[in-house]
Amino acid sequence: MEKRERISLDHFQYLTEILDPSMDDYLFIYDLQNDLYCISPSALDRFPIPGCQFSDVAGNCEKFVYPADVKTLQDDLAQIFNNEKSVHDIEYRWMDREGNPVWINCRGEVTHDEQGKPQFLVGCINEIGLKQRADNTSGAMRETTLQRELEKRQGERLSGYILRIGIDNFKEINENWGIDYGDMILRRTAECIGEMLENGQKFYRIVSDEFIVLNTAKGEGDVEAVKLYKKIRAAIDSFIADNHYEAFYTISAGVLDLTKVNKQNYATLMKLSEFALNEAKNRGKNQHYIYELSDYRMFQYRRRLIEALRHAVNNRCEGFEAYYQPIVDIGKQKLIGAETLLRFQTEELGRIPPTEFIPLLEETGLIIPVGRWVMEQALKACHKIQEKIPDFRVSVNLSYIQVLKSDVLSVILELIGAYRLKPGSLMIELTESGFLESNARFIKFCDELRANGILLALDDFGTGYSNFHYLYNLNPDTIKIDRSFTLEALNNPQEYNLLRHMVEMTHSIDLKLCIEGIETDQELEKISAMDPDYIQGYVFGKPCSYEQFVEQHVRENAAV
Ligand code: C2E
Ligand code: MG
Ligand code: MG
pLDDT digits (tens, 9 = 90+) for 402-422: 999 999 999 999 999 999 999
Ligand 2 centroid–CA 537 distance in Å is: 12
Ligand 3 centroid–CA 431 distance in Å is: 8
Q: How confident is the model at residue 2, as a pLDDT?
A: 44
Query: Which ligand number lies closest to the CA of residue 482?
Result: 3
With a pLDDT cut of 90, the percent of the chain lying above it is 68
Ligand 1 atom nearest to 322, measured from its CA: 41
Query: Which ligand number lies closest to the CA of residue 517?
Result: 1
Sign, CA torsion 173/175/181/182: positive
Please give the average per-residue pLDDT across 425-436, as a whole number.
82
How far are the Cα atoms of 174, 189, 402 from residue 177, in angstroms, in the given order?
A: 6, 16, 34
Alpha carbon nearest to ligand 1 atom 41, residue: 342
b/e per residue 171-200 (b: at least 16 CB within 10 A): eebbeeeeeeebebbbbbbbbbbbebeeee
Ligand 3 centroid–CA 346 distance in Å is: 25
Alpha carbon nearest to ligand 1 atom 35, residue: 354
Ligand 2 centroid–CA 516 distance in Å is: 9
Convert the pLDDT of each residue in 328-348 to its tens digit.
Answer: 999 999 999 999 999 999 999
> What is the C-alpha separation between 497 and 185, in angstroms, rounded?
58
Q: How many residues does the chain have?
A: 560
More confident call, 464 vs 180: 180
Q: How confident is the model at residue 136, as a pLDDT?
A: 64
Confidence of residue 560 (pLDDT cuts 50, 70, 90): very low
> What is the C-alpha separation between 409 and 178, in angstroms, rounded?
40
Ligand 3 centroid–CA 410 distance in Å is: 25
Convert the pLDDT of each residue in 115-138 to its tens digit.
Answer: 999 999 999 998 876 655 566 666
Q: How confident is the model at residue 243, as a pLDDT?
A: 84
Beta strand spans in 359-492 (E): 393-397, 426-431, 455-461, 478-481
Ligand 2 centroid–CA 344 distance in Å is: 16
Instruction: Label residue 493 exposed, middle or buried (CB < 10 Å: 0-12, 13-18, 19+).
Output: exposed
DSSP assignment of 247-313 equals: S---EEEEEEEGGG-S---HHHHHHHHHHHHHHHHHTTSSSEEE--HHHHHHHHHHHHHHHHHHHHH
Query: Which ligand number lies closest to the CA of residue 378?
Result: 1
Ligand 2 centroid–CA 325 distance in Å is: 10
DSSP assignment of 4-56 equals: HHH--HHHHHHHHHHHGGG-SSEEEEEETTTTEEEE-TTHHHHS--S-SEEE-
Ligand 3 centroid–CA 549 distance in Å is: 19
Alpha carbon nearest to ligand 1 atom 8, residue: 341
Convert the pLDDT of each residue in 441-469 to its tens digit.
Answer: 888 999 999 999 999 999 988 776 556 77
Please give the average per-residue pLDDT across 492-510, as a whole number.
92
b/e per residue 57-93 (b: at least 16 CB within 10 A): eeebbeebbbeebeeebeeebeebeeeeeeebeeebb
166: Cα within 13 Å, side-chain hemisphere: 26
With a pLDDT cut of 70, the percent of the chain lying above it is 94
Report the chain's terminal Cα–Cα distance, integer Å: 113
Q: How confident is the model at residue 434, as a pLDDT?
A: 64
> What is the C-alpha separation between 213 and 498, in angstroms, rounded?
56
> What is the C-alpha separation between 248 and 172, in angstroms, rounded?
11
Query: Which ligand number lies closest to the CA of residue 543?
Result: 1
The whole-chain average pLDDT of the chain stands at 90
> What is the C-alpha separation between 85 and 75, in angstroms, rounded?
12
Q: How confident is the model at residue 229, as a pLDDT?
A: 97
Ligand 1 atom nearest to 396, measured from its CA: 41
Which protein residues touch ligand 1 with a CB less than 6 Å away?
325, 340-342, 353-355, 358, 374, 397-399, 429, 459-460, 483, 516-519, 536-538, 543
Q: How confident is the model at residue 1, as a pLDDT?
A: 44
Q: How confident is the model at residue 439, as a pLDDT?
A: 73
Predicted model pTM: 0.74
Q: How confident is the model at residue 265, as a pLDDT?
A: 84
Confidence of residue 139 (pLDDT cuts 50, 70, 90): low
Confidence of residue 252 (pLDDT cuts 50, 70, 90): very high
Confidence of residue 11 (pLDDT cuts 50, 70, 90): confident
Cβ-contact 378, 333 below 8 angstroms: no
DSSP assignment of 142-176 equals: EHHHHHHHHHHTTTS---SEEEEEEETTHHHHHHH
Cβ-contact 258, 264 below 8 angstroms: yes
Alpha carbon nearest to ligand 1 atom 21, residue: 517
Alpha carbon nearest to ligand 1 atom 12, residue: 517
Ligand 2 centroid–CA 393 distance in Å is: 14
Ligand 1, from 516, 518, 536: best to mutate by most atoms within 8 Å of Cβ? Answer: 516
Ligand 1 atom nearest to 367, measured from its CA: 44
Helix, strand, coil percent values for the chain (each to nearest 5): 50, 25, 30
Please give the average per-residue pLDDT across 428-451, as a whole number.
82
Ligand 3 centroid–CA 511 distance in Å is: 16
Q: How confident is the model at residue 302, as a pLDDT?
A: 95
User: Residue 223 in 3-state DSSP?
Assistant: helix
Could you give phi then psi for residue 87, rounded to 5 degrees? Answer: -125, 130
Please give the average per-residue pLDDT across 24-46, as a whole number.
92
Ligand 1 atom nearest to 362, measured from its CA: 44
Could you give phi then psi for residue 518, rounded to 5 degrees? Answer: -85, 125
Q: How confident is the model at residue 533, as a pLDDT?
A: 97
Ligand 1 atom nearest to 519, measured from its CA: 18
Phi-psi region of 35 (alpha: psi -120 to 50; beta: other; left: phi over 0): left
Cβ-contact 134, 142 below 8 angstroms: yes
Ligand 1 atom nearest to 399, measured from its CA: 44
Convert the pLDDT of each residue in 259-294 to its tens digit.
Answer: 888 767 888 999 999 999 999 999 999 999 999 999
Closest CA to 549 of 323, 362, 368: 323
Alpha carbon nearest to ligand 1 atom 34, residue: 397
